[in-house]
Amino acid sequence: VGAMGVLLVTHCVVLYLLQMVALSSEQFRVIGSEGPVLAPLGGTLELSCQLSPPQHAQHMEIRWFRNRYTQPVHLYRDGKDMHGQTISKYVERTELLKDAIEEGKVTLRIFKVTVDDDGPYHCFFKDGEFYEEHITEVKVTATSSDIQILMHPPNIKGVMLECHAGGLFPLPHMEWRDSKGEVIPATSKSHSQDINKLFNMTIALLIETSSHRNVTCYLQNHLTHQEESICVILSGKMCCFIKEAREGD
């Protein structure tokens, strides 16, 4: 009977410990944006996350980081912001909004967005030994404000048109279209990145010297769906350019 009693007590203790582990693993979840968050180059980015169920988080460690836990974008611990532990590229560029921290909600604000801010962000809450996180994907966007067509002097093959656009991120879709909106295969296409990691693109088109036609250089940011275009109207030796821009939906 004694042995059976010991086994029964041991069994009950094990069940109790398993229940405690199960309860501790359900203390909270961290929720936030499910889809990518778009961030305009040079603008201000805001990323929010919160505890579910809502609960006071002022005593918790709240850490925002990119790829490495030990390299925080912003760190809040012991009831204060630990600015001295922020990695160099985010020094004096972040602010943690804590107006709703009593409900477990915080917002990370990042100023002067750069291309390097593109990518995943971990929102990490830690209470004692328990912790959870939510990952939000950030997509930095920059749309050209300077799209132009350069027309080279004609030769025996025809007239070479080059469409240039710069200051772009990510790499956009760029093509030539005719007056009916049909795609015209480009003679050549190239791109490069500048010191700020912004893309510059060029597409060229060779057309007959005596051609009387309209061609459009079309550019689209596939994240924002913002469109830009510039049309050249060729009529013998005469030409004119028409530039258009349209915001995405």
Which CATH number fits the domain that encloses residue 124?
2.60.40.10
Residue 201 has a pLDDT of: 96
Q: Enumerate helices (H) and strands (E) in the chain, giving the number of each.
A: 1, 19
Bridge-based pairing of strands 148-151 and 159-168 is: antiparallel
> Quick one: 121 and 196 in the same domain?
no
> Quick one: 109 and 175 in the same domain?
no
Domain boundary among 85, 115, 141: 141
Residue 211 has a pLDDT of: 63
> Quick one: 108 and 181 in the same domain?
no
- Domain membership of residue 20 (yes or no) is no
Mean pLDDT of the 76-90 span: 94
> Quick one: 134 and 160 in the same domain?
no
> Quick one: 164 and 114 in the same domain?
no
pTM equals 0.78
Cα dihedral 116/120/105/113 (nearest 10): 20
> Quick one: 63 and 81 in the same domain?
yes
pLDDT at 4 over 80: no
- Domain membership of residue 33 (yes or no) is yes
- Domain membership of residue 12 (yes or no) is no
Q: Which amino acid is at 30?
A: V
Place of tokens 């004119």: 240
Judge contact between 239 and 233, C-beta under 8 A. Answer: yes
Domain boundary among 141, 174, 197: 141
Residue 155 has a pLDDT of: 81
> Quick one: 200 and 219 in the same domain?
yes
pLDDT single digits (tens) 87-103: 999 999 999 999 999 99
- Domain membership of residue 228 (yes or no) is yes
Domain coverage including residue 237 = 148-246
- For the chain, the domain total comes to 2
- Compute how many other C-beta atoms are within 10 angstroms of the C-beta atom of residue 32: 17
> Quick one: 239 and 190 in the same domain?
yes
Domain boundary among 123, 141, 159: 141
> Quick one: 32 and 134 in the same domain?
yes
- Domain membership of residue 1 (yes or no) is no
**Which are the contacts of 218, defined by CB distance < 8 A and separation ≥ 6?**
174, 175, 176, 177, 227, 228, 229
